[in-house]
Amino acid sequence: MTGPVAVTGASGFVGRALIGQLLEAGRPVRALVHRQGVGLSHPKLETVTGGLSDRAALLRLMDGAHAVIHVAGKVRGRDLTDFLGVNADGVTHVAEAAQAAGLRRVILISSLAAREPQLSPYATSKRTGEERLAKAASGAAFTAAILRPPAIYGPEDRELVPLFQTMARGIVPLPGVPGARASLLHVDDLAQAIVKLLDSPAQGTYELHDGHEAGYGWDEIAAIVERVAGRGPGWRLRIPEHVLRSVAGINLLASRLFGYMPMLTPGKVNELRHPDWVCDNTEISRDTGWQPLISLENGLSSILRGTPLKSDRGISNVT
């Protein structure tokens, strides 16, 4: 492999973890940054300032690169229009620049939500982005692969970690339907999977999880958090659907009045209450050799208790 690895979404939670692993492996990285820097300094790290609609910036990003990993995405919005500009049009711009720059490999980090595009504008936009890449790759000089990660957590996570911390204090909100199950994945395992996929000829769409094949129920997650926190069962607070939908509707209205991008919307409630977000590692493990290293208990021990991050295979400091 020659040339740097180009990375979009470099300043985000997943992007920083990925760049750290690429640099640790001795690979030069060229990162696209927009409003916020990467927060890393390394002799093999170069940054390019610009957005996904800036063709000149994308061409600078990919000039001489071997591959691009497209991590950038938008998770907050009011309607489909808010999401499409980044999650679909952005994919088109990246694919066009990759073709123009002569790259050989394009990796798209999508979302498991794309499996159920009817649930929300976000899910629709992620599925549309996947379809745009598949169309662009047909007959192109580059090969393409798509990852659909489940819910991702890790030290810099601003979504799941606060929920885990609330559970550790003894308050366990339960917004999902009874019996719902979902896969989880530590961000470092995701970063390793991306690198494995980058180095393989694998094409297509892949799901992945942390090795817990049946996923987790909300009560199971709470029990693991409580065990790690060294406390007994906390107060289970089941949140009725009508409460979630009322709050989401008010939040959506307020976002339009005050001009902010909301997280909790009616579409997000649909995602939260979907009964099956369980993934399957069979195909990605078969095609790349990747295996998850970090169980939920070990990942949470590192976050909630500050213990060294360990893998299920007994390897300390897996990052």
Which phi and psi angles does 14 have, rounded to 5°? Answer: -75, -40
pLDDT tens digits, residue range 301-316?
A: 999 998 888 776 544 4
pLDDT tens digits, residue range 45-93?
A: 999 999 999 999 999 999 999 999 999 999 999 999 999 999 999 999 9
pLDDT tens digits, residue range 215-265?
A: 999 999 999 999 999 999 999 999 999 999 999 999 999 999 999 999 999
Q: What's the whole-model pTM score?
A: 0.94
Take residue 314 and report the two structure tokens written for it: 């007994």
Supply the pLDDT for residue 41.
84
Domains of the chain (ranges, CATH numbers): 5-156+184-213+278-293 (3.40.50.720)
Tell me how far apart the alpha carbons of residues 136 and 96 are, in angstroms, rounded to a whole number: 8
Task: Give me the residues paired with residue 144 across strands.
Answer: 106
The length of the chain in residues reads 319
| % of the chain at pLDDT higher than 90 | 89
pLDDT over threshold 50, residue 154: yes
Take residue 89 and report the two structure tokens written for it: 């049009």
Averaged confidence pLDDT in the chain: 94
pLDDT tens digits, residue range 105-122?
A: 999 999 999 999 999 999
Tell me how far apart the alpha carbons of residues 113 and 126 are, in angstroms, rounded to a whole number: 7
pLDDT band at 1 (very low <50, low <70, confident <90, very high): low
Distance (Å) of CA 59 to CA 2, 6, 99, 102, 253: 17, 10, 10, 10, 39
